[in-house]
Chains A and B, each alone.
Chain A
Amino acid sequence: MSDPIRFSIDGRPVDAEPGETLWQVAKRLGIAIPHLCHLDQPGYRPDGNCRACLCEIEGERTLAASCIRKPAPGMVVHTASERVSRAQRTVFELIEAGLPARAGAPDPDAPFWHWSEQVAAPQGRLPGRHGVVSPEAAGLSLHDSSHAAIAVDLTACIACGLCERACREVQVNDVIGMAYRGIQTRPVFDADDPMGASTCVGCGECVQVCPTGALLEKTVQTSIKQSGRLPIDREVDTLCPYCGVGCLTRVAVANDRIVRVDGRPGRANDSRLCIKGRFGFDYVHHPHRLIRPLIRRDDAPKRGDASLDPSNPWPTFREASWEEALERAAAGFRRILDRHGGAALAGFGSAKCSNEEAYLFQKLIRQGFGTNNVDHCTRLCHASSVTALMEGIGSGAVSAPFNAALDADFIMIIGARPTENHPVAATYVKEAVRTGKTLVVADPRGSALMRHATHALRFRPGTDVALLNAMLHVIVAENLYDPDYIAAHVDNFDALKANVAECSPEVMAPLCGIDPGMIRTVARLYARSRASLIFWGMGVSQHVHGTDNARCLIALALITGQIGRPGTGLHPLRGQNNVQGASDAGLIPMFYPNYGPVDSPDLTARFQQAWGRPLDPARGLTVVEILHAILADRIKGMLIMGENPAMSDPDQIHARAALARLEHLVVQDIFLTETAWHADVVLPASAHAEKLGTFTNTNRQVQLGRPVLPLPGEARLDIDLLVSLANRLGLGWSYGQQPHPEGGETGVEVSAVYEEMRGHMVSLKGLPWSRIAAEGSVTYPAADATSAGREVLFGDGFPRAGGRARLVPARVSPPNEAPDERYPLVLTTGRLLEHWHTGSMSRRASVLAGLEPEGLAAMHPDEISRRGLIAGDRVRIATRRGAIEARLRADRDVAPGMVFVPFAFNEAAANVLTNPALDPFGKIPELKFAAAQVTALG
């Protein structure tokens, strides 16, 4: 630690910390120095180009940019001398002369105008923009409205380069650069292409930081055009509703409509957002929103192959009062309970809902239905990972946050495409690579991250264990493991050693298709690096050998001791915004809240005591098992909150047949989803933007979502609906709610639910409601309510017997079905940047739907021409389960021999095609591998 640097600013003596700039010191002293190209936010390097922040340093020939200049001992600095002010005024005068007048500027409230007012530069002395060749004269428009969400108006551009730093250094998307020279200097996209035709991923970081509104949200542009200013009624600090990154947002509302979403400072996202978070908000205003309870018409029989127009549900449903709907819903459950018992009921909660909703949902199923048949979509994403993690290290959560990438020296990403599915988490990885860290990306599909990767391993689909066992082999054979760490913390090393003895890279290479030398290099780098971190996603988990895949990754970390220290660890990237929290809260058939096994008699006794009812002593069924059980007539009634198994589950024809077969199905959701088509009662519920609650992101940060909008029509909060249903099942819940005159109960106190839940969850011990309400985001576990949460776990052992982790060897096994003559291609499924899971939200978000409006199948251009197909045509994709039609897209990232189908499109639903074969441990279906054929449509 160096000594502070003593110097003076404006006559005030001051000590600067090493590394502090003059601007930062001035800010600390309350001296406001104008700034345009400088943004006082993490990740933004000062650039010193606009010269608005000039200051005078005694003894120096010229003025210096305070944003970039660091003090030296004894320096005498003036921020407001006439020498400084005169230069500042001229800088603003020069800039303003080239801009539209404030009233006609794209954003009259932009920071530039704020500083312009302060500086009060002379006006009217200078001619306007004069360029040698004006862009217009060169046939180039200064206006670019080609992007779906962002308006570009270069008449307001001051060439400060913040957009470039946003795109290149913060989000690391590398789309914007400052091109040309001199007076023609301006931001361009790719090779000066229209923004909408460029590789822009629409994260909008450039919009958020632009100091003039030259880059502006079109929603804001419209608002300003209509009223001459941005008529913001309120701004609410809340969370993004989409993925597990859990970005903190600030949502601006005008006339009860969201008009802008900005990122907010904080550990999860440092003010960054992605296209979904920033521009995918208007689904909440979509006309398809359910605003009154619906009841299935008596003359509308259920059919698995039913198809329904969400804008005209009336052939199938009729509107009902809350009283009727709630009573019909509860009566159906009571009837099945009476006749068949709780085992005939099941519930799917949702990882989109809050912790409090998840907790009450599982409590309702366990206490009210008397069954453990409660599950949610974690079964379809990371069930195998959680199984392997629980068995190996005793905890299903990440051992370190994704921000740990910045502390790592080596990062491996396998079976994950974070640039599309966790874009903000990906920014930290790309940022780490920019600072020289090693990145290995392993995936059969190419990805945007591979350009940044030190090593890209495009292995054959379904051969993860072969690749990973070969890496383990190298580490064992070359003595790169950490015997001390193993001795202190890890069991079963000998079994692992024996298991991988035969798996040399040379033997595995023909299977996985990766050069043995490359496998050795990567294995050595992983083992030897000071700190190595592994991320994985559904490419690892969604296989019949998904648990084995995860076991191998865990083994890598355990035998090398690459866990428990800063920059090391295991991070399964969680998909939904609250999949971590929903799992923690017990929305899983084998666990009570906080992963207490339901087949533990002690625990069951404890929860029976707490909930005052006999509980099911056996593990419940999982998602796919429940659907099978319906078709086997063992399950007859279901409550589904916010889940869409009719789209998300494998072998969709079979899944929908099951839903249609239910005697009683109650769905609470914001839209009439494909699942709700099969319901008896549909309860209009609350969107994320309408509710208060906590959500736990992939980093184990418990964060507060606050209501931004009122509920539409008669829609109700999910938490109120759960309480109303529970009480109609006689559970007598009381969380401060009041009876509603139109039936049911409303006004549940979220904090009361949270505190009850926390009473069952030691992990939340240090996170009382009051703390989360005050801090907004707290990492669990925390020792107590005043200690910081622990981001990196397992430095002192594992939460298993004896504090030791256990290695579980994995054998190389093939996928469940192999391509053959009839189905020669490998089908893999996944997501697109613009669409969220089953599309019920994102396809109703105008920007996202506009960018990716229709179902597609992507293949390598060489494979397309080999098969005599034509990109852009509609094709038929078939597997042993069924067939769909979609538009064919040429995509070099898809390996030859493969076809990729995103599962967001109901008209071309990937899950019609997928294989429901399950991983024997995690019970996750093999969504990433099926034999398929693609043919031209006649």
Chain B
Amino acid sequence: MDDSTLERPKAGKGRRWQTRGRIADPAAARDIDLVLGHEPVRRDHLIEYLHRIQDRFGALMPRHLKALADRMRLSEVEVFEVASFYHHFDIRRDDDAGPAAITIRVCDSVSCMLAGGEALVERLTDLVDPAHVRIMRAPCIGRCAEAPAALIGKRAVGHATAERLRDLAAAGTVTPEPVAATRLAEYQAAGGYRLLASMRSGALTPAAITEALSDAGLRGLGGAGFPAGRKWSIVRSFPAPRLMTINADEGEPGTFKDRCLLEADPHRVLEGALIAAQAVEAERIYLYLRDEYAHLHQLLGAEIDALARAELIKPGFIELRRGAGAYVCGEESAMLASIEGRRGLPRHRPPYIAEAGLFGRPTLNHNVETLYWIRDILDHGAEWFAGQGLNGARGLRSFSVSGRVRFPGLKRAPAGITLRELVDQHCGGMAEGHRLAGYLPGGASGGMLPASRADLPLEFGRLEPHGCFIGSHAIVVFSDQDDPAAIALNLMQFFRHESCGQCTPCRLGTEKLVALMEQGALDRALVADIDHAMREGSICGLGQAAPNPLACLIRYFPEALR
């Protein structure tokens, strides 16, 4: 957020007629009461409240922040520090007219960069009236297969052109497009929620399911690949009360699989979640959805309500939460902080969240896709799932493929497939006129590999010897026409933008690496030192992986270094 425009109370003599600090504004307090209603406030809902206030008033004004703090019995700074952490919150002066009526966020992440996102911004800037339309650059919005992409208000626009965006702005088309998902009735008609019922009846035991997941080899598909069944056992080993979270904060550049799965079949994920929650006896499920997926917020909100109406869950058992524009909140412990209504800072381990997670309780956290597979595994058997893999890997995976392939998109493919097989068998080969030069196997953080390593199995643990990892299976393919150095710089800028700022190696390391890359001639010993400090010394995976683009650039694309 731009912090140049904050209203500040006067220091010194000007304040003597009043008490210390910003004075409560009764009108602002009434505004807040209107927005919040008269229900008791919850500390963990702070980010939700900020969303509601911004949705209503277009921006966050200090007078409203003060009134919200008073209502929540927080200090002003406890509200401000949270609001200022998240990029989607727009803090303005009290007397500011507010931002332009329409905001267009043009994605500037790597896939969209390859597809000409920069030119789109330039063209759009020429076409629209800044008084009416505000243009912002945004990190990955999860539409990489339709690059370049943009968000106009809450509406996602794929294959965006400046003219189309101009026309949508002129028409005021800013609400999400409805989703043609499988709704509850349809899902139930096709056998949905029978597994949950048999689990609740006792026919299907948690032990049996856990065993099935272990036999199937299901791993956490948010990026870490931790065996799902083992995770359940660990969480269950800590004393109740326990909680569960669903990580739908998909923000790794190049990743859009969770969006696609939820758009198509939300109940498959929700049933998986309810089975998991039952298995670990979680008291409540929090579904943390990235703010960029406004259409899914509507869909999931409606379907969760439908579940309650159908008495499949108690009202409030699944709580849908909205992120606010912070990649780091995809890191599970940062996500927990965000659900608690705080800045999204990752936590130190130990303790792991399975022991002390959300609100200090043992917490089971799963990625959307991990849950998605549970029903299939139980329906078709662990052996069926385990038998799907290639090259020694087990199971099916959802690959988000973007970049220079003929048919980018969500590709359901065997675990352990190679890049070459994936491109040739699932993506129709390379795009017209492009020759494979390299690829990102795991979004921004998974490193970069050259075409010469296109035959490695895309699987957890198999890319690490090459300085990379598969992570969220976000494959971005680039060609001989792309500049690996520009790609690496784009990724490094992304990390600088998204570093939470908590620990020194990541906060300053991302900044300095960008500065060094922009300067040109690299001091290799210095880069190696920074790489070491970030990898070894950062608190979370973001900082530990952030040097990957530059390290891979130096290792695999030395000719790209000027």
Tell me the A residues contacting B by CB distance below 8 Å: 48-52, 54, 62-63, 65, 68-69, 83, 86-87, 89-91, 93-95, 97-98, 125-127, 130-133, 135, 138-140, 146-147, 158-159, 174-185, 188-201, 451, 853-854, 856, 858, 871-872, 887-893
Contact = CB atoms under 8 A, between A and B. Distances in A.
Given A131-B511, A182-B498, A192-B84, A63 B348 contact: no
Interface string B47-70: 000000000000000100110000
B400 interface: no
Interface string B1-41: 11110111111100111111111100000000000000000
Contact of A83 (B3, B503, B536): B536
Interface stretch (B144-152, B183-191, B214-222, B525-533): B525-533
A91 B533 contact: yes
Interface of A: prevailing SS: loop
Contact of B9 (A181, A183, A197, A856): A197
B425 interface: no
A192 B499 CA distance: 21
Nearest to A62: B536
Contacts of B142: none
Interface stretch (B74-82, B167-175, B271-279, B365-373): B74-82
B77 A189 contact: yes
A138 B84 CA distance: 15
Nearest to A95: B504
A51 B503 contact: yes
A146 B14 CA distance: 12
A890 B17 contact: yes
A147 B208 CA distance: 65
B510 interface: yes
B11 A892 contact: no
A120 to B, nearest CB: 14
A640 B101 CA distance: 72
A207 B414 CA distance: 58
B21 A182 contact: no
A147 B84 contact: no
Nearest to A180: B84
A158 B503 CA distance: 10
B323 interface: no
Contacts of B15: 197
B118 to A, nearest CB: 17
B234 interface: no
Given A147-B11, A190-B76, A193-B22, A183 B507 contact: yes
Contacts, number: 233
Interface in B411-438: none
Nearest to A184: B501
A139 B348 contact: no
Given A49-B504, A188-B81, A890-B17, A87 B532 contact: yes
B508 interface: yes
Nearest to B21: A199
Nearest to A167: B77
B539 interface: yes
Contacts of B363: none
Nearest to A196: B11
B559 interface: no
Given A90-B530, A130-B512, A146-B11, A182 B84 contact: no
B552 interface: no
Contact of B77 (A49, A191, A196, A856): A191
Given A98-B508, A182-B500, A893 B76 contact: no
A49 B150 CA distance: 35
B535 interface: yes
B556 interface: no
Contact of A197 (B8, B66, B79, B81): B8
A177 B77 contact: yes
A743 to B, nearest CB: 47
B245 interface: no
Given A90-B532, A177-B77, A184-B501, 9 more contacts: A86-B532, A89-B529, A94-B509, A127-B515, A132-B496, A135-B3, A177-B75, A181-B501, A887-B17
Interface in B477-525: 496-505, 507-512, 514-516, 519, 523
Contact of A90 (B66, B75, B499, B505): B505
22 contacts: A48-B348, A62-B536, A69-B348, A87-B537, A91-B537, A94-B504, A97-B508, A125-B523, A130-B511, A138-B2, A159-B504, A179-B80, A183-B499, A191-B6, A191-B66, A191-B91, A192-B6, A193-B21, A199-B20, A200-B20, A888-B17, A890-B23
A181 to B, nearest CB: 5
A183 B79 CA distance: 20
B24 to A, nearest CB: 7
B557 interface: no
A180 B496 contact: no
B402 interface: no
Contacts of A87: 505, 532-533, 536-537
B562 interface: no
Given A49-B504, A174-B78, A54 B539 contact: no
Nearest to B19: A891
Nearest to B344: A181
Given A51-B505, A87-B533, A193 B9 contact: yes
Nearest to B2: A138
B326 interface: yes
Nearest to B84: A179
Given A182-B498, A182-B499, A856-B16, A97 B512 contact: yes
Contacts of B511: 130-131, 182-183
B380 interface: no
Among B12, B87, B502, residue most surrounded by chain A Cβ atoms (within 10 Å): B502
B11 to A, nearest CB: 3
A191 B75 contact: no
B384 interface: no
A125 B22 CA distance: 44
Contacts of A147: 11
A856 B503 CA distance: 46
A86 B76 contact: no
Contacts of B512: 94, 97, 126-127, 130
B501 A180 contact: yes
A68 B81 CA distance: 24
B290 to A, nearest CB: 16
Given A68-B348, A86-B529, A190 B22 contact: yes
Q: Which one of A93, A175, A177 has the greatest number of beta carbons of chain B within 10 Å?
A: A177
B531 to A, nearest CB: 9
B205 to A, nearest CB: 33
Ranked 7 nearest A-B pairs via Cβ:
A872-B17, A185-B501, A196-B11, A174-B75, A199-B21, A177-B81, A90-B533
B17 A181 contact: no
A86 B533 CA distance: 7
Contacts of A183: 496, 499, 501, 507-508, 510-511
Contacts of B500: 181-182, 185
A139 B78 CA distance: 23
A812 B535 CA distance: 71
Contacts of A146: 11-12
Given A48-B348, A132-B497, A890-B18, A179 B529 contact: no
B501 A182 contact: yes
A197 B19 CA distance: 10
A139 B511 CA distance: 21
Q: Which of A146, A193, A853 has the most CB of B within 10 A?
A: A193
A78 B19 CA distance: 53
A375 B276 CA distance: 74
A476 B472 CA distance: 65
B109 interface: no
A94 B77 contact: no
A192 B80 CA distance: 8
B76 A199 contact: yes
A100 to B, nearest CB: 16
A63 B21 contact: no
A93 B526 CA distance: 10
